[in-house]
Amino acid sequence: MLSVNTINLKQCNLCPLSCGADRISGKGRCGAGKDIEISSWNLHFGEEPPVSGTKGSGTIFFTHCSLRCIFCQNYPISHLGNGKKITEQKFIEIMLRLQSDGAHNINFVTPTHYSIHIAQALKKIKGKELKIPTLYNCSGYEKTETIKMLNGLIDIYMPDAKFYSNSAGSALCRADNYALVNRKALKEMYLQAGELVLDENGIAVKGLILRHLVLPGHTGETEKMLKFIYEDIGNDIYLSLMSQYHPAGNSVGHPVIGRRLNPGEYRDAQKAARKYGF
């Protein structure tokens, strides 16, 4: 298991790309260097109901990404690196400010390449000044060692379960091991966080929320992914089956995913979800 104290950004292996980059003097394949970079932070009301609740989710959007899907909805942040560097002290101030603004949780969006920075900061404040739940909102392309490092620091995992097959991961994210890596990571997150637990107001306090974005021309992937979740994790989990796909970034004009879903495709996805009891 990676330890917060021993991770060396001089040879970074935090994510499944394991590029070994020296992030002290340069940048990794993800685009990240030694400092945290963020594009924005705010109270977000558009997440799943147990996450946004009535007061909003305290969302921090990190710059860069280790996956960089061609259909990324945050292309300027993930691919172009729009954002600014902040110190750890500023990062902590932002989390505490979101908490004092009433956020139900601190929601780290695309956190993988900064997981070590997040762990180090949370070790200083979690359970002390920071009392609200923490949420790891990620692409699902995660090393199990990195997830184990976050044990006790992250309360809610909200990963994507994007593709069942490696060919889809290869074609759409240039990650030909996405599927296998993702399935291991989802199981590790579930092992650590368990089913979603809500408070008396229906707000998430701990557990796993799985997100699957239904893609045009890929309903077979959806069926296989839901079958895997049913068989290997269970159907008691909170599943967010998302229909809002629209072409963005490099998927505009793409022959297969360069369009929105048609109603029949989302109906097929719902049918598969019902079939496995979600």
Is-contact 278 236, C-beta < 8 A?
A: no
- Taking the least distance from each CB to ligand SF4, the nearer of 52 and 115 is 115
Is-contact 31 208, C-beta < 8 A?
A: no
Q: In the complex, what is the shortest distance from the CB of residue 88 to ligand SF4, in angstroms, rounded to a whole number?
A: 17
DSSP 3-state assignment of 86? strand
Angstrom distances, CA of residue 143 to CA of 26, 112, 155, 188, 231: 22, 9, 18, 9, 22
Q: In the complex, what is the shortest distance from the CB of residue 4 to ligand SF4, in angstroms, rounded to a whole number?
A: 15
Phi-psi region of 85 (alpha: psi -120 to 50; beta: other; left: phi over 0): beta
Q: In the complex, what is the shortest distance from the CB of residue 10 to ligand SF4, in angstroms, rounded to a whole number?
A: 11
Q: In the complex, what is the shortest distance from the CB of residue 198 to ligand SF4, in angstroms, rounded to a whole number?
A: 32
End-to-end CA distance of the chain: 33
- Taking the least distance from each CB to ligand SF4, the nearer of 32 and 179 is 32
β-pair partners for 156:
135, 207
Residue 10, number of CB atoms within 10 A of its CB? 12
- Taking the least distance from each CB to ligand SF4, the nearer of 57 and 112 is 112
Rg (CA), the chain: 18
- Taking the least distance from each CB to ligand SF4, the nearer of 16 and 207 is 16
238-242/134-138 β-pairing? unpaired
By beta carbon distance, the residue nearest ligand SF4 is 28
Q: Give the span between the Cα atoms of 277 and 95, in whole angstroms.
A: 37
- Taking the least distance from each CB to ligand SF4, the nearer of 18 and 167 is 18
- Taking the least distance from each CB to ligand SF4, the nearer of 32 and 196 is 32
- Taking the least distance from each CB to ligand SF4, the nearer of 145 and 268 is 145
Q: In the complex, what is the shortest distance from the CB of residue 138 to ligand SF4, in angstroms, rounded to a whole number?
A: 12
197-198/106-109 β-pairing? unpaired
Residues that bind ligand SF4 (CB under 6 A): 12-15, 17-19, 21, 23, 28-30, 32, 66, 113
Q: In the complex, what is the shortest distance from the CB of residue 223 to ligand SF4, in angstroms, rounded to a whole number?
A: 31
Q: In the complex, what is the shortest distance from the CB of residue 215 to ligand SF4, in angstroms, rounded to a whole number?
A: 24
Residue whose structure tokens are 């692409």: 139
